[in-house]
Amino acid sequence: MLQQLFTPSVQHTLDLIGIFVFAISGALLAVRKNFDVFGIAVLAEVTALGGGLFRDLVIGAVPPAAFTDLGYFLTPLLAALLVVFLHPEVERIQNAVNVFDAAGLGLFCVAGTTKAYEYGLGLTASATLGLATAVGGGVLRDVLANEVPSLLRWDRDLYAVPAMAGAGMVVLCIRHEVLTTFTSALAAVTVFVLRLLAMRYHWRAPRAWNRRSTATEVQ
Amino acid sequence: MLQQLFTPSVQHTLDLIGIFVFAISGALLAVRKNFDVFGIAVLAEVTALGGGLFRDLVIGAVPPAAFTDLGYFLTPLLAALLVVFLHPEVERIQNAVNVFDAAGLGLFCVAGTTKAYEYGLGLTASATLGLATAVGGGVLRDVLANEVPSLLRWDRDLYAVPAMAGAGMVVLCIRHEVLTTFTSALAAVTVFVLRLLAMRYHWRAPRAWNRRSTATEVQ
Amino acid sequence: MLQQLFTPSVQHTLDLIGIFVFAISGALLAVRKNFDVFGIAVLAEVTALGGGLFRDLVIGAVPPAAFTDLGYFLTPLLAALLVVFLHPEVERIQNAVNVFDAAGLGLFCVAGTTKAYEYGLGLTASATLGLATAVGGGVLRDVLANEVPSLLRWDRDLYAVPAMAGAGMVVLCIRHEVLTTFTSALAAVTVFVLRLLAMRYHWRAPRAWNRRSTATEVQ
């Protein structure tokens, strides 16, 4: 068991912030896909809670936090409500989705890695599950919206790599017993900044060998 | 713990009816998508059992009922068999899908909410999980058929709202300790009737503010 | 509890082989879909571990083997790496996907059925879960790649039927207490050969009655 990183109320507030920003990203995609208000609420909930729900099922933490904490459930509804009434004009949506998503990515990958380790998983498995917590909601969001997950597409800026870096920082800190509030926050901010840089400078990952120049894009 | 609402055999029969009608809806979509007989059977099973399977994983009721009750497994196969040989002509399929789906929606949202509460979830979480039980199978069905889930589309008649009303009725009855066979049945019938009315009069939910008149439809 | 079929190290090696071949199939599809190297790794992991992960969640074996055995996690990464650098030319890809997939199908349906029975499920449920273990990864792969799952399409050669035959052989062997290393291997090879024959001679399952001649293909 790790020492308590944050006071419970600070931890809870950070969780709610992560949930809120992911929910915003889900709700904005729902607006872009022209879903109705209930579809917007569902996509906000799924994006915000899907990754953590998957993590909790895997580590056997049932019922998952998503169903025991009323705040976790209500926060995405608040985000959906805000988006329904205040969503930016269509042209600005994609940028907003991505910035909010980057913040959620950082918060969730740190929280997910830490929780998985607390439940007894190994370091590699904890980092993997932290990554899955961070990207899982977005993958579910894209699957429900019937799109190829952003995560997998070569023509999208780096997304998994920043989260990998963050999850890696957390398990290194755990291994060397220097995981504190400060190092956790540093890992989350690192993910956020790396992701923003990836978007700003269009960092992309290579595709399979010999296909970079000749392949035609699918979808 | 709630008092037993129904005798076990009545409860079991209602479960099987709900499973059967959802399986019909899944099998009919599979026919419409031109799947082979095994694809029809798989989509019938997933539509019928997917929502309850999700609920059981969330509340920690493993192995889920779908894998312990042979009747739950065989009923969708029977439904698939009927659809393979007796499916109505193509033009009539959509209506049949929707009416069967409405009946399943009512039965599953009441049963799901009740079971979630029996496993110790709060009232809001129970209603949410009841809703997820009711709509989960249909969402999985649409995802496997590679369609945007009906649940989320603005151009479909109200689907989640009737189920929300039913789940809300159940938790109100639980809270005021008046959940009986009669009130449960009333909640299920309410869902069914509201859904049929929504289809008859094309009740639809609004989309995000300011987009109703200007948006062009996606998909 | 069954008697131990294989020595632990033999069982583990077979598991890793199944994981490897499924991962190859996932990675090859990712190359075909033009995903970047991280997308290739993710699809390799999901295809290889998705079916077993689903089985472990259903039987309550948490944390699932996918997250406790480092070899299970690293094998798909190795497969993804091989595919990134050595993937065959595009024209040869589909055949390779299918042959690897057939091998994984056999190994996973035998291992899945056996493990489900060891965790106390009935014979029918064990066979069903074995089938789900075998086909689950491929279904997740296709859903993430935003394609209609091969499993469900009428215009694909028989896929589920060989796995059903294999799972059926395993539960028959369990019932008659003749499940040994030899009979298990026989079941796995039967699946593999049946699947290869289905591909070689284009065995297909019928669609719903009266639609075979008139239906136009969807997707």
Q: Which residues of C touch A59 (CB under 8 A)?
A: 62-63
Select the residue from C121, C128, C154, C212 to test the B interface by mutation, using most B Cβ atoms within 10 A: C154
Return the H-helix or E-strand segment holding B162: helix B160-175
B152 interface with A at CB cutoff 8 Å: yes
* Alpha carbons A53 and C57: distance in angstroms, whole number: 13
A37 contacts B207? CB cut-off 8 A: yes
C209 contacts B84? CB cut-off 8 A: yes
- The answer to whether the beta carbons of residues C5 and C11 sit under 8 Å apart is yes
N-to-C CA span, chain A: 45
Instruction: Tell the burial category of C6 from Cβ atoms under 10 Å away from its Cβ (0-12, 13-18, 19+).
Output: middle
Share of chain A above pLDDT 90, in %: 55
In A101-120, the residues whose Cβ lies within 8 Å of chain C are: 119-120
Residue A219: closest C-alpha in chain C? C33
Q: What is the mean pLDDT of residues C182-192?
A: 93
A149 interface with B at CB cutoff 8 Å: no
The residues near A25 (Cβ < 8 Å, ≥ 6 apart) are A47, A97, A98, A100, A101, A104, A138, A141
Q: Residue C35 — φ and ψ, nearest 5°?
A: -70, 160
Q: Which tokens hold the place of A47? A: 């994006």
B28 interface with C at CB cutoff 8 Å: no
In this complex, which of B58, B59, B208 lies closest to A40 when CB atoms are compared? B208
pLDDT at C1 over 60: no
- The answer to whether the beta carbons of residues C150 and C138 sit under 8 Å apart is yes
The subunits that touch chain B, with at least 3 C-beta pairs less than 8 Å apart, are A, C
A63 contacts B119? CB cut-off 8 A: yes
Nearest to residue A134, comparing CAs of A183, A157, A168?
A: A168
Q: Which residues of B touch C204 (CB under 8 A)?
A: 36
Nearest to residue B130, comparing CAs of B105, B147, B148, B149?
A: B105
Q: Which tokens hold the place of B68? A: 């312990």
Residue B46: closest C-alpha in chain C? C132
* Alpha carbons A197 and A73: distance in angstroms, whole number: 32
Q: Residue C33 — φ and ψ, nearest 5°?
A: -85, 0
Residue A41: closest C-alpha in chain B? B152
Say how many C-beta atoms besides its own lie within 10 A of residue C180's C-beta: 13
pTM of the model: 0.90
Give the relative orientation of helices B70-86 and B8-32 as an angle to the nearest 10 degrees: 40
Q: Chain B: nearest CA to C146, how far in angstroms?
A: 7
Q: Residue A145 — φ and ψ, nearest 5°?
A: -85, 5
To the nearest 10°, report the CA torsion of B190, B191, B193, B196: 170
Lowest mean pLDDT among A1-10, A126-135, C7-16, C75-84: A1-10
The subunits that touch chain C, with at least 3 C-beta pairs less than 8 Å apart, are A, B
Which pLDDT tens digits describe chain B residue by residue (219 residues)? 455 556 777 778 878 888 988 998 899 889 888 899 999 999 999 999 999 999 999 999 989 999 999 999 999 999 999 888 877 654 466 676 678 778 889 999 999 999 999 999 999 999 999 999 999 999 999 999 999 998 888 888 888 899 999 999 999 999 999 988 899 999 999 999 999 999 899 988 888 776 544 444 444
C85 contacts A218? CB cut-off 8 A: no
Alpha helices in chain A, H assignment, sequence order: 8-32, 37-59, 65-68, 70-86, 90-118, 123-144, 160-175, 181-200
* Alpha carbons B172 and B163: distance in angstroms, whole number: 14
Q: Three-class SS of residue A219?
A: coil
Q: What is the mean pLDDT of residues A113-133?
A: 93
pLDDT for B154: 82
Enter the DSSP assignment of B181.
Answer: H
Residues paired with residue B35 on neighbouring β-strands, in sequence order: C153
Q: Which tokens hold the place of A9? A: 């109320």
* Alpha carbons C65 and C50: distance in angstroms, whole number: 11
pLDDT for B4: 57
pLDDT for B2: 54
Higher pLDDT, A43 or B15: A43
In this complex, which of C57, C119, C209 lies closest to B57 when CB atoms are compared? C57
Q: Which tokens hold the place of A200? A: 């700003």
Q: Three-class SS of residue A105?
A: helix
Averaging pLDDT over each range in B84-98, C138-152, C197-211, which range is the top one?
C138-152
Instruction: Tell the burial category of C211 from Cβ atoms under 10 Å away from its Cβ (0-12, 13-18, 19+).
Output: middle
* Alpha carbons A88 and C62: distance in angstroms, whole number: 43
- DSSP string computed for B140-161: HHHHHTTS--GGGBTTS---HH
B146 contacts C219? CB cut-off 8 A: yes
* Alpha carbons A88 and B115: distance in angstroms, whole number: 41
User: Residue holding tokens 């790794």?
Assistant: C41
The residues near B27 (Cβ < 8 Å, ≥ 6 apart) are B40, B41, B43, B44, B47, B76, B79, B80, B82, B83, B84, B87
* Alpha carbons A72 and A60: distance in angstroms, whole number: 19
Mean pLDDT of chain A: 86
Q: Which tokens hold the place of A49? A: 């809670």
Position C217 confidence tier, pLDDT thresholds 50, 70, 90:
very low
Q: What is the mean pLDDT of residues A193-197?
A: 94
Q: Residue B39 — φ and ψ, nearest 5°?
A: -60, -35
Mean pLDDT of chain C: 86
pLDDT at C71 over 80: yes
B209 contacts A87? CB cut-off 8 A: yes
C205 contacts B67? CB cut-off 8 A: no
Q: Domain-by-domain residue ranges, chain A? A: 8-200
How many residue contacts between B and C have a Cβ separation below 8 Å? 98
How many residue contacts between A and C have a Cβ separation below 8 Å? 97
Q: Three-class SS of residue A188?
A: helix
pLDDT for B168: 95
- The answer to whether the beta carbons of residues C153 and C207 sit under 8 Å apart is no
Q: What is the mean pLDDT of residues A22-42?
A: 90
Q: Chain C: nearest CA to B68, how far in angstroms?
A: 7
Position C88 confidence tier, pLDDT thresholds 50, 70, 90:
low
